[in-house]
Amino acid sequence: MASITRRVAQLLGFVGSNPKPSDELPWNPHNTNFPTRKNLPDIPGAPKGAAWVWGKDDNLGRLNLLTPSRIKAAAAEIKTGEIIPLDLPLNVPETPGFAREKFVHTIKTIMKDVAYDDKYELNTQSGTQWDGFRHFAHLSSLSFYNGTKGDDIVGPDANHKCSIHHWAEHGIAGRGVLLDYRSYAKANGIEYDPYTAHAITYEELRKCGKAQGIDIRPKAQGGDIKVGDILLIRSGWVESYHERSPEERTDLALRPHAVGVDDGQKYAGVAQEDAMLDWLHDCYFAAVAGDAPAFERWPTPVPYYLHEYILALWGMPLGEMWDLERLAKKCHETGRWFFFLTSAPSNVPAGVSTHPNTTAIF
């Protein structure tokens, strides 16, 4: 009888907020109710706060939440069939920040006037990107998602653990939601430069969502965010980039980069605060992305990075420098802030990150 009860609980979702790690792991991605960040089970061998809950060999993290039923439900957001690509050109920014290499494109002549090839030299972090799970570790444990270590990524024992190709083989599609913080800030007299370390707090995002007619709390708490949604936040960085001269953009990109609060690279982004951590975790987004070079406020003024939580502890894909300008315009025109979203990561075994190749469909 106990086994039947346990099976029913797996099918219907966790009833409580704190499943027993001994008999509930790995979690069932089809469930509809999951523990809050403060009620995560302790997992042997994992750092405190880790949500390595999808199996010891898992390489997908929160992408497990993109189940066929959720993708089918998300497809109901397609009303008009209008397509909005969300990738910047590969050569934008023309001078990347954080001392990363420029995109280089050359054309190889196979036979003059008959056939040609392309050749790319690309740092996947230089423009529109998904940060993969191999990109950023939990610092105190030096662990990447699901126990991946540096020796799994480079060196004689390198392997495909948490490689980006796992995302490509699974695919990414679901319901996207945009919070247009830049427009909300302008409408409410909040002035800031996206090239500064302006903090976008949870409280301001809550007000932004309210202005858009969205309750940004998770559905389990009475809000509009469903398990598996893909969050996009517009800070205005892409807008600001295009408003500046090439010389100014280059000067800003070449600001000195150093680890710590004295980093000359400064960008607006979501605040490092408990309220933000709770919200980003408890909504059970399948992935999150923004339009700035760092999804979080940069540099961090606290001893931790949100990258540690999002990537290493929770296994949630993290997008940066997405082009949300046309998307924001369409959302305002239609009064719709939810849409169908697809992404085709590069199928690169052992890859760290990827160009997202993302499209929103209305």
- Domains, the chain, ranges and CATH? 2-62 (no CATH), 83-89+128-361 (3.50.30.50)
Q: Cβ(312)–Cβ(137) under 8 Å?
A: yes
Q: Return the SS3 of 155.
A: coil
Give CA–CA dist 73/34, Å, rounded.
Answer: 19
- Tokens read off for 3: 């086994």
Residue type present at position 148 = T
Question: pLDDT tens per residue, the chain (362 residues)?
Answer: 334 333 333 333 333 344 443 347 999 999 999 999 999 999 999 999 999 999 999 999 999 999 999 999 999 999 999 999 999 999 999 999 999 999 999 999 999 999 999 999 999 999 999 999 999 999 999 999 999 999 999 999 999 999 999 999 999 999 999 999 999 999 999 999 999 999 999 999 999 999 999 999 999 999 999 999 999 999 999 999 999 999 999 999 999 999 888 999 999 999 999 999 999 999 999 999 999 999 999 999 999 999 999 999 999 999 999 999 999 999 999 999 999 999 999 999 999 999 999 999 99
Neighbours of 213 (CB within 10 A): 10
Q: Are strands 83-85 and 199-200 parallel, antiparallel or unpaired?
A: unpaired
Please state, in angstroms and rounded to a whole number, the distance separating the CA atoms of residues 57 and 26. 10
Contacts of 137 (CB under 8 A, 6+ apart): 143, 144, 150, 308, 312
How many residues are there in the chain?
Answer: 362
pLDDT for res 95? 97
Is residue 34 within 8 Å of 284, Cβ to Cβ? yes
Query: And the tokens for 151?
Result: 């020796």
Buried b (16+ CB within 10 A) or exposed e, 252-288: bbeeeeeeeeebebbbbbbbbbeebbebbbbbbbbbb
Predicted local distance difference test score (pLDDT) of residue 24: 79
Identify the CA nearest to 317 among candidates 102, 123, 67, 59: 59
- What's the alpha-carbon Rg for the chain, to the nearest Å? 21
Whether the link from the prior residue into 299 is cis, omega within 30° of 0, is: yes
Query: With contact defined as beta carbons under 8 Å apart, do 237 and 268 qualify?
Result: yes
